[in-house]
């Protein structure tokens, strides 16, 4: 009996502790930060913009950012000499506690990126609330504040447009690739690889960014769109790479999922288009006369998605000629990419890491000025292309037209 009484007494003593959470947070006390924009401040080092979701407006109605009973987001700005200081100063304007567990995007301006991101990343990496899988982009030719203030027609939350658009361009165009905070930091601390990230801009009239009136038009005046890849060196923005050259970066990193390759035929420009089914990139390092040589080998399998000319796709010799033309076009694009990146003296491909694994002793000798050596590095590119499908027509209607 006495033993039973003691058990009940102990349960009674521990119940207040077990029945509560010491750090519980009421939803009505939190401001959910979906995106952050970081610009240079006027009086202080940074001006930080917080894109905060308004749950009631997102939950009501359907459609884009202008639907429902109000705007889905509110943007507040504050300044500080550190990111932490700026975030705490935001409490002077916001009645709720900033909550970062749902933050999906960090946008930094070109000015901040040129000065360097080293003093920004630690705050994002250290906070246990903040997810390091959050994507990071550079606001190109616009402020980060305008970028996180922009609204979108198709997506209730503008931040979803940015993250989904990067995902879709990576999957279908091959000129962008998702880069999160973790991946960026890994590029920073790596000996033999520099980080890259996506550029983002506002096309059209930037003054309409964040205005609900813009969403009342079928054609918005201010449109969020991806814009190239930002190349960094020692944590600072070194330059940009765009279009086919950006696609060359994705090729070398073996992250091409889909894209399109155009070749000329019968004297007609861009007459045939090839889309990939599978693509595999292998990078190998050889040592020649004490110097590293990088060999990039790509095996490309594709299908003909367009043939806007008279061409017989049943002829094996024609297919062989198409394969050679496609391979030459990919090689040309990748060589052009390598030349452009070498001019910027920033090894974003991670060739240095591969040299380190191949020959640690050689790497120890050359790592001190690797980016300078990277600019002179011999890189060979070899592409093998194979047509696996011709679509549902082996002879285009152009045959009938030209008869």
* 340 closest CA partner among 228, 184, 263: 228
Q: Find, among 348, 358, 266, the residue nearest to 312 by Cα.
A: 266
Cα dist from 20 to 14, 28, 29, 168, 251, whole Å = 11, 18, 18, 43, 53
Confidence bin at 112 (pLDDT 50/70/90) = very high
Instruction: Say how far apart CA 36 and CA 38 lie, in whole Å.
Output: 7
- What 3-state class would DSSP assign to 384? strand
186 pLDDT higher than 80: yes
Give the mean pLDDT of 235-262: 90
Average pLDDT over residues 100-125: 90
Phi, then psi, of 292 in degrees rounded to 5: -75, 145
Distance CA(146)–CA(39), nearest Å, equals 10
Instruction: List 263's β-bridge partners, or say none.
Output: 272
In this predicted structure, the answer to whether residue 66 has a pLDDT above a threshold of 60 is no
Residue length of the chain: 403
Task: Out of 24-38, 56-70, 259-273, 359-373, pick the least confident.
Answer: 56-70
Q: Which CATH class is domain 245-402?
A: alpha beta
- Whole-angstrom Cα Rg for the chain: 27
At residue 247, φ and ψ (nearest 5 deg) are -65, -35
Tokens at 94, concatenated: 């916001």
Reduced 3-state DSSP string for 267-303? CEEEEEEEEEEEEEEEEEEEEECCEEEEEEEEEEEEE
pLDDT at position 73: 85
Give the residue with greater pLDDT, 29 vs 262.
262
Q: For residue 22, what pLDDT band results from cuts at 50, 70 and 90?
A: very low
The whole-number average pLDDT for the span 34-45 is: 91
Its pTM stands at 0.83
CB atoms inside a 10 Å sphere around CB 27: 9
Candidates 264, 261, 233; CA nearest to 247 is 261
List, in sequence order, every residue forming a beta bridge with 39; answer none if it has no partner. 47
Dist CA 176 CA 199 (whole Å): 9
**Joined tokens for residue 81:** 């000499």
Count CB neighbours of 220 within 10 A: 22
Question: What average pLDDT does range 87-101 have in this prediction?
Answer: 86
Q: Could you tell me if 133 and 180 are in contact, meaning their C-beta atoms sit under 8 angstroms apart?
A: yes
Does position 87 have pLDDT exceeding 80, yes or no?
yes
How is the chain split into domains, by residue range?
Answer: 27-241, 245-402
Question: What stretch of H or E contains 49?
Answer: strand 46-53
Maximum Cα–Cα distance across the chain: 106
Task: Average the pLDDT over 196-205 and give the result.
Answer: 85
Q: Which of 240-244, 255-259, 347-351, 389-393 is the least confident region? A: 389-393
* 323 neighbors 295 (Cβ within 8 angstroms): no
What is the pLDDT averaged over residues 265-288?
Answer: 91
* Residue 137: per-residue pLDDT: 93
Mean pLDDT over residues 154-166, rounded?
Answer: 80
Place of tokens 């567990």: 101
**pLDDT score at 191:** 86
**What average pLDDT score do residues 130-134 get?**
85
**What tokens were used for 304?**
């003909």
Supply the mean pLDDT for the chain: 84
- What's residue 25's pLDDT? 60
């Amino acid at each position: 009996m006495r033993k039973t009484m003691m058990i009940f007494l102990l349960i009674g003593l521990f119940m207040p502790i077990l029945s509560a959470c010491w750090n519980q947070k009421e939803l009505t006390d939190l401001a959910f930060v979906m995106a952050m924009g970081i610009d240079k401040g006027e009086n202080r080092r940074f001006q930080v913009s917080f894109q905060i979701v308004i749950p009631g407006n997102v939950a009501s109605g359907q459609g884009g950012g202008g639907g429902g009973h109000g705007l889905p987001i509110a943007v507040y700005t504050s300044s500080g000499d550190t990111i932490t200081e700026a975030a705490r100063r935001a409490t002077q304007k916001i009645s709720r506690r900033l909550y970062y567990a749902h933050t999906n995007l960090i946008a930094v301006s070109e000015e901040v990126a040129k000065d360097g991101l080293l003093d920004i990343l630690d705050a994002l990496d250290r906070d246990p609330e903040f997810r390091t899988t959050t994507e990071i982009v550079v606001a190109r030719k616009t402020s980060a504040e305008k970028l996180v203030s922009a609204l979108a027609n198709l997506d209730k939350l503008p931040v979803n447009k940015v993250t989904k658009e990067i995902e879709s361009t990576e999957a279908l165009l091959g000129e962008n690739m998702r880069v999160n905070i973790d991946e960026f930091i890994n590029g920073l601390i790596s000996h033999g690889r520099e980080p890259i990230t996506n550029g983002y801009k506002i096309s059209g009239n930037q003054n309409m960014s964040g205005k609900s009136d813009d969403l009342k038009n079928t054609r918005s005046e201010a449109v969020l769109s991806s814009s190239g890849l930002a190349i960094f060196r020692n944590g600072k923005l070194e330059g940009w790479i765009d279009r086919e050259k950006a696609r060359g970066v994705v090729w070398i990193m073996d992250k091409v999922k889909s894209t399109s390759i155009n070749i000329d035929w019968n004297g007609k420009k861009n007459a045939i288009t090839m889309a990939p089914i599978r693509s595999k990139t292998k990078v190998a390092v050889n040592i020649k006369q004490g110097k590293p040589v990088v060999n990039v080998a790509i095996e490309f399998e594709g299908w003909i998605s367009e043939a806007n000319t008279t061409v017989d796709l049943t002829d094996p010799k024609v297919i062989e000629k198409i394969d050679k033309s496609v391979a030459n076009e990919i090689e040309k694009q990748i060589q052009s990419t390598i030349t452009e990146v070498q001019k910027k003296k920033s090894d974003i491909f991670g060739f240095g890491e591969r040299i380190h694994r191949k020959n640690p002793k050689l790497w120890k000798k050359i790592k001190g000025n690797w980016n300078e050596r990277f600019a002179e590095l011999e890189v060979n590119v070899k592409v093998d292309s194979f047509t696996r499908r011709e679509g549902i027509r082996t002879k285009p209607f152009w045959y009938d037209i030209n008869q």
